[in-house]
């Protein structure tokens, strides 16, 4: 038996925080997330990482250039330095760290817009009453805003633009592993269902010159795909098809992949999307459904997907899924598993029509 004060009982995210507290109080360490994000948001909003791109500057200098209160700005910069996003030097001067580089505008690998989106009030407010979701199973977002998340984006162009920019930056290392390990060249014609501007499809086509493809999404979304295809040099092999994937999916493709989309939807609505894909596949036994999404681990194991699952529940009414849940969802639409990826990360699940 372990005693109540035994640090071996402190695991998972609780073990990340260097707070000298007994196990029964270590949950206080989770407050760090709120405090850190709260301090970093104005730092990013003021463009401090961009101002520091050429070298260290004092808090006073930065306050004068941004029109901020010098003392208040120093305090949030000091907090940012404590987290490792900035480095504090002598005389209240600050410099960017490698992590802080990711909060600059327009640089390779930037996650600035992802950070601003994740810390935006529209993404915070649903957590104020997550109990609503727990009690009803319905998104807390709808209760907080009086409309669904996607209706909210349609009514607020600025929020929609931030969402779109964030999704462009939404690139996990697991995606690169998928590109490296999966042979997309098996499929001559590929449909990217719900693929936004077509970044994922463009990467596939760039890596596999023998493939052609189409990104299939809402008209206002795919309108920007042509520029992405031209930028990646695949415009001669890629097209954009305006699609409502709840109504229909274009037929005639060898593979239909759906990346980071099905987790936005409940089992009912995700099943509707997969049913449309199955209808598009028709009698082609060699066609494949390729789902790129989180694949949850078993009980008690650390998994980022178990955290993002709460965001899906609170904001969209969607969910992350384990293998049994994915297989059950696919089977209901007429697909059977054709590979066995490891759980605990972004995975590519391949299914064949039955």
Q: Give the model's pLDDT for residue 98.
A: 94
Which CATH number is 240's domain given? 3.40.50.150
How does residue 20 score in pLDDT terms, banded at 50, 70 and 90?
confident
Do residues 61 and 125 both lie within one domain?
Answer: no
Do residues 56 and 204 both lie within one domain?
Answer: no
DSSP state letter for 264: G
Q: Tell me what percent of the residues of the chain surpass a pLDDT of 90.
A: 81
Which of 168, 197, 225 finishes a domain?
168
Which of 67, 102, 137 finishes a domain?
102
The answer to whether 263 and 320 are in contact (CB under 8 A) is: yes
DSSP letters spanning 84-131: TSEEEEGGGEEEE-HHHHTTSSS-TT--HHHHHHHTSHHHHHHHHTHH
Average pLDDT over residues 48-70: 96
Nearest Cα to 38, choosing from 103, 124, 111? 124
Neighbours of 147 (CB within 10 A): 14
Poorest-pLDDT segment among 8-22, 175-189, 237-251: 8-22
Residue 115 backbone dihedrals phi, psi, to 5 degrees: -65, -45
Do residues 286 and 346 both lie within one domain?
Answer: yes
Q: Give the model's pLDDT for residue 163.
A: 93
How does residue 10 score in pLDDT terms, banded at 50, 70 and 90?
low
Interatomic CA distance for residues 107 and 46, integer angstroms: 17
Contacts of 203 (CB under 8 A, 6+ apart): 179, 232
Domain extent at residue 253: 170-353
Q: Are strands 238-242 and 57-58 parallel, antiparallel or unpaired?
A: unpaired
Domain presence at residue 262: yes
Q: Which residues of 114-145 are buried (b: 16+ CB within 10 A; e: fewer)?
A: bbbbeeeebbebbbeeeebbeeeeebbbbbbb
How does residue 4 score in pLDDT terms, banded at 50, 70 and 90?
very low
Helix 173-181 to helix 199-207 angle (10° resolution) is 40
Do residues 156 and 199 both lie within one domain?
Answer: no
**SS3 state at 259:** strand
Which of 168, 201, 225 finishes a domain?
168
pTM attached to this predicted model: 0.88
How does residue 5 score in pLDDT terms, banded at 50, 70 and 90?
very low
Respond yes or no: is residue 263 known to be catalytic: yes
Q: Provide the Cα torsion 198, 204, 205, 206; round to 10°.
A: 100
Interatomic CA distance for residues 332 and 289, integer angstroms: 14
Bridge partners, residue 337, by sequence: 351
Neighbours of 295 (CB within 10 A): 24
Average pLDDT over residues 205-210: 96
pLDDT of 148 > 50? The answer is: yes
Interatomic CA distance for residues 317 and 311, integer angstroms: 9
pLDDT tens figures, 308-344: 999 999 999 999 999 999 999 999 999 999 999 999 9
Q: Which residues of 238-272 are buried (b: 16+ CB within 10 A; e: fewer)?
A: bbbbebebeeebbeebbbbbbbbbbbbbbeeebbe
How far are the Cα atoms of 12, 296, 303, 304, 306 from residue 300, in angstroms, in the given order? 9, 11, 9, 12, 10
pLDDT of 1 > 50? The answer is: no
Q: Give the model's pLDDT for residue 239.
A: 96
Q: Considering the candidates 152, 208, 263, 268, report the single residue annotated as catalytic.
A: 263
Q: For the chain, give the mean pLDDT.
A: 93
Q: Which helix (H) or strand (E) holds 295?
A: strand 288-295
> Which residue do the tokens 């005639």 mark?
252
Domain presence at residue 109: no
How many domains in the chain? 3
Do residues 95 and 163 both lie within one domain?
Answer: no
Which CATH number is 25's domain given? 1.10.10.10
> Which residue do the tokens 């640090």 mark?
7
How far are the Cα atoms of 42, 81, 244, 263 from residue 92, in angstroms, in the given order? 18, 11, 54, 44
Interatomic CA distance for residues 265 and 320, integer angstroms: 9
pLDDT of 7 > 60? The answer is: no
Do residues 260 and 291 both lie within one domain?
Answer: yes
Domain presence at residue 230: yes
Do residues 247 and 196 both lie within one domain?
Answer: yes
pLDDT of 106 > 60? The answer is: yes
């Amino acid at each position: 038996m372990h005693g109540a004060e035994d640090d071996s009982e402190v695991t998972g995210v609780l073990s990340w925080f260097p707070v000298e507290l007994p196990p029964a109080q270590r949950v206080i360490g989770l407050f760090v997330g709120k405090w850190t994000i709260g301090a970093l948001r104005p730092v990013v909003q003021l463009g401090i990482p961009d101002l520091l791109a050429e070298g260290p500057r004092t808090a006073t200098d930065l306050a004068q250039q941004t029109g901020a209160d010098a003392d208040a700005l120093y305090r949030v910069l000091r907090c940012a330095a404590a987290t490792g996003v900035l480095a504090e030097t002598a005389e209240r001067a600050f410099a960017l760290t490698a992590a802080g580089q990711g909060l600059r505008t327009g640089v390779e690998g930037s996650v600035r817009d992802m950070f601003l989106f994740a810390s935006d009030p529209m993404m915070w407010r649903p957590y104020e009453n997550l109990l609503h979701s727990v009690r009803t199973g319905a998104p807390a977002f709808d209760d907080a805003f009086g409309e669904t998340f996607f209706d909210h984006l349609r009514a607020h162009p600025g929020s929609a633009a931030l969402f779109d920019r964030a999704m462009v930056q939404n690139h996990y290392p697991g995606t690169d592993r998928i590109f490296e390990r999966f042979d997309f060249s098996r499929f001559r014609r590929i449909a990217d269902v719900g693929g936004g501007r077509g970044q994922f499809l463009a990467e596939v086509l760039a890596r596999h010159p023998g493939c052609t493809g189409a990104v299939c999404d809402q008209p206002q979304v795919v309108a920007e795909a042509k520029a992405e295809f031209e930028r990646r040099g695949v415009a001669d092999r890629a097209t954009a098809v305006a699609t409502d994937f709840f109504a229909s999916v274009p037929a005639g493709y060898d593979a239909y992949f759906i990346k980071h989309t099905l987790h936005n939807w409940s089992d009912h609505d995700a099943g509707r999307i997969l049913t449309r894909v199955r209808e598009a596949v028709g009698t082609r036994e060699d066609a494949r459904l390729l789902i790129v999404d989180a694949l949850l681990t078993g009980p008690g194991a650390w998994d980022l997907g178990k955290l993002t699952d709460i965001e899906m529940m609170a904001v969209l009414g969607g969910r992350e899924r384990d293998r049994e849940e994915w297989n059950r969802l696919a089977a209901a639409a007429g697909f059977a598993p054709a590979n066995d990826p490891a759980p605990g990360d972004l995975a590519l699940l391949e299914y064949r029509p039955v």
